[in-house]
Structures are given as C-alpha cells and as structure tokens.
Amino acid sequence: MARAQSADLFPTDLPLPARLLIGRGDDIREIATTVMAGANLVVAGPRRTGKTSVCEAALARAKKGGFYVAALDLFRIANAAQLAEALVAATIANRPRLHRILHRAREAGRLVADAAGTTVVLKAQDELGDELEIAFKPGLAERDPERYLDYALGLPQRIAARDGKHLVLFIDEFQEVANPRKPYGDPDALTKRMRAIFQRSPDVSFLFAGSYEHILRDLFGQARQAFGHFGAMVELRPIAETAWRSGLLDRFAVDSCTVGDEALDRLVALGGGHPRATMLVAQKTHLQAILVGSHHIDATLVEQGLRSALLGDRATLEQTVEQIRLAHRHALLIARRIALRESPYRDLKSVDAFRALKGLQQTGLIVQDGPRRWRILDPLLARFLRELEPFG
C-alpha cells in the first residue's frame, strides 16, 4: 500500500485546519466564545506557534454559529488600496450571491455578471455604498486609497447592521499597520482612523493576531496609544505533553506506524513544546521510516529525523543567526550562552547585556521564564546555536 506523505501527516509551513491541530481545543473555544460575545481580542505570540491556525479555527466556529466572518492577513497585503479591496471583498463574501459573483470576477479578472448578477451588485451598492465596486474592479481603489480604505473599514459594521448579524473580523499580522516602512500610510494617522471607525462598530468583534509581541503591546497596551485597551491581549497556552504524545501517536497511526516509548519521549523532548519544531522533527522522522521501509518508529529514526530537520532548516536557521547578530553586537554571544544554559551576562557590562537581551527579546526568539531565566523558544534554533562553531 502506498504510504502517507510525511508533509501531509506533519505539515510545517502553513496554518493547519482545526482537525490537524494537536491540543489547542481550550484556546479555540475561549477565543471563539469571547469574540462571539462581542469582545475584542489580540492574540500575540512568537512565530510558528499556531496563532493563525487557532484564530482561523475560532473563526470557523463563529461562522458555524451563524456569525458573519471576515479574515485578512496583512503579510499578504501590500498597500492601502489593496487593504481596502481585500476588506470589502472579505466582508461582502458573507452574502452568498455576492460571494458567487465575486468569485467569478476574481477568476476572470473583471466583473462578469449576467443581468441578474448585475442587479444584485447594483442593489448592494445602493444599500452599502457605491464604493463597494472596488471589490469587483481591480485597480479602482488605487485612485483614492484613503477614501476607499475609510469606506472599507466601516463596511463590516454596515453590512452586519443591515443583515441583523454580528460579524467577527480577524486581522492577522496586525503589527504591520505600525511597520516603519508605512505600507498603508502613516501609522499614527492610520491607527487613529481605524480605532475611530472600529469603535463605532458595535456589531463587529475584532480578533487581531501578530508575531511581533512588543509592537502589539505598544499598540494595545497603553491607554495613550491608538488601540489602547481596545482589545484584551491573550497568549496561547502551552500544549500539554500528554496532548503531544497522543496527537503524535494518532498522526503516525494514519500511516499504520507504531512508535516506541523511548522514541516518543525523545520526539516530545526534542520538540520542546514548540509546535512547528515538533512537527518538523516528526515529519523528518516519518520520512526516515519510509526510506528504510519501516512502520515502527524507534529512537534511532528520531535521531536521524532530528539531523534531517536541522539540515532542511539550515538556510532559515542561518538567516535567523544573522538576524540575531543584527539585533545587537553582543546578541549572538548571549543567545549562544542561553542556548548552552550558561549565565548570559558573564563578563559583560550590565547595560550591554540588558540592551542585547532587549534586542533579542524583540526578535521574538527568546522568552523569559523567570527572573534572569531565559530560553530560546525554538529548540531547533537552540540546538543550531549550541552547535555553531564560533571559530569557523
């Protein structure tokens, strides 16, 4: 029988559908319940820990519960005009007939509607404003991005009120609004406009997520900031070891693989509770099992899986080391010490150590577990740093 593909069993590079998530049930429930109750939330957390997957699952729940939903990923949206277009499209997609017309328009690159379709669009424009057409006419929003963006930001409320629905709007990678490159215009002005419009949207709940925690904290944490106290900050809970164990066993079982106790212990330990790292080592371990034609996972295969994971991620890990190096002149030294569980401050001036740690923390690569206790979040990165040969 053909074997299941490792990357299908243990995907590593995309948000996962809810049925493939290990653990996270509580997070999804809590987030879904909160936004369905009308409150706003900000899910902040390091990269590759499952924020998008969890928020999408919560959104799917809301949709199932009869809510309108819309989702945007700012990493994929280049400028204000595109933001306006995407938001209008995601919002009106809640109406099935508009959704169908929109879908056809997207495929054809222009509005294709028969007489009935044209009537639907015209009627919607009547109700919701002429600007609605930007969803159907690529490039139109570019003519006046600011006006269209204002329109788009207010549309979720308009459509929710019209249809007697509550809408949940999920904006992923929200810190991009404050990106110094100003993709959507001046961050200060933009966030103020957004806040003003969102504030007047009683039928909309906002779910924000992002991987640059310090920027999100700046945006939402302080009263004087544009989004000060607009949404409660939440972090995803750690995924319990028992959940990892049973989740991994279930995934391996899909390909009729059994896993030895020692191998399972090792897999969970190597993953260090980090979702993507655990999945990557499991994926590569499964691939090793396929290569040797085995359906039993033992500790040797896990070790080979780890090596193969490190090798496969080498380019990214090297880029990350570069990012660390750029954070501060002592950042790499300190990161290595943290990885080696040595005292990070040794023979450094405290002001230097403090700045380097701060820089590192802002990269989202390290977390503080307690006073003077730091940890490299991704165990594969920690290993890479430990094995890095400082003398070339």
> Cβ neighbours of residue 172 under 8 Å, at least 6 residues apart?
51, 52, 55, 71, 72, 73, 74, 75, 208, 209, 210
Nearer to Mg ion, 27 or 255 (CB): 27
CB of 202 to ligand ATP, least distance (A): 29
Task: Identify what 364 binds: Mg ion, ligand ATP, none; CB under 5 to 8 Å per kind.
Answer: none
Length of the chain: 392
CB of 52 to Mg ion, least distance (A): 3
Nearer to ligand ATP, 47 or 325 (CB): 47
Q: Are 332 and 324 within 8 A, CB to CB? A: yes
Nearer to ligand ATP, 140 or 367 (CB): 367
Q: Are 297 and 259 within 8 A, CB to CB? A: yes
58 part of the interface to ligand ATP, by CB under 6 A: no
CB of 175 to ligand ATP, least distance (A): 11
Kind and range of the H or E run holding 36? helix 25-36
Q: Which residues pair with 42 in a beta bridge?
A: 208, 233
Q: Which position among 6, 34, 49, 82 is part of the footprint of ligand ATP (CB under 6 A)?
A: 49
Q: Phi and psi for 204 in degrees, rounded to 5?
A: -125, 135
Q: Which of residues 211-240 bind ligand ATP (CB under 6 A)?
A: 211
Give me the 182-211 binding string for ligand ATP, x by CB under 6 A, dash otherwise: -----------------------------x
Closest CA to 288 of 261, 314, 265, 267: 267
50 part of the interface to ligand ATP, by CB under 6 A: yes
Q: Which position among 40, 53, 157, 205 is part of the footprint of ligand ATP (CB under 6 A)?
A: 53
Choose the binding region for ligand ATP from 6-14, 162-170, 181-189, 289-297 (rule: CB under 6 A). Answer: 6-14
Our CA angle for 203, 159, 148, nearest 5°, is 110
CA distance 368 to 119: 58
* Binding footprint of Mg ion on the chain (CB under 5 A): 52
CB of 62 to ligand ATP, least distance (A): 17
Q: Are 225 and 190 within 8 A, CB to CB? A: no
Using only C-alpha atoms, what is the Rg of the chain?
24
Closest CA to 88 of 141, 144, 35, 43: 141
Q: Identify residue 269 by its one-letter amino acid code.
A: A
12 part of the interface to ligand ATP, by CB under 6 A: yes
Q: Which position among 4, 30, 47, 298 is part of the footprint of ligand ATP (CB under 6 A)?
A: 47
Token pair of 231 as six digits: 């949404």
User: Which DSSP letter does residue 292 get?
Assistant: T
Choose the binding region for ligand ATP from 22-30, 159-167, 259-267, 309-317 (rule: CB under 6 A). Answer: 22-30
360 part of the interface to ligand ATP, by CB under 6 A: no
19 part of the interface to ligand ATP, by CB under 6 A: no
CB of 234 to ligand ATP, least distance (A): 13
CA distance 218 to 175: 10
> Cβ neighbours of residue 39 under 8 Å, at least 6 residues apart?
205, 231, 232
Nearer to ligand ATP, 50 or 359 (CB): 50
Nearer to Mg ion, 52 or 308 (CB): 52
Nearer to Mg ion, 134 or 207 (CB): 207
CA distance 20 to 7: 12
Task: Identify what 219 binds: ligand ATP, Mg ion, none; CB under 5 to 8 Å per kind.
Answer: none
Q: Which residues bind ligand ATP (CB under 6 A)?
A: 11-16, 21-24, 47-53, 211, 275-276, 279
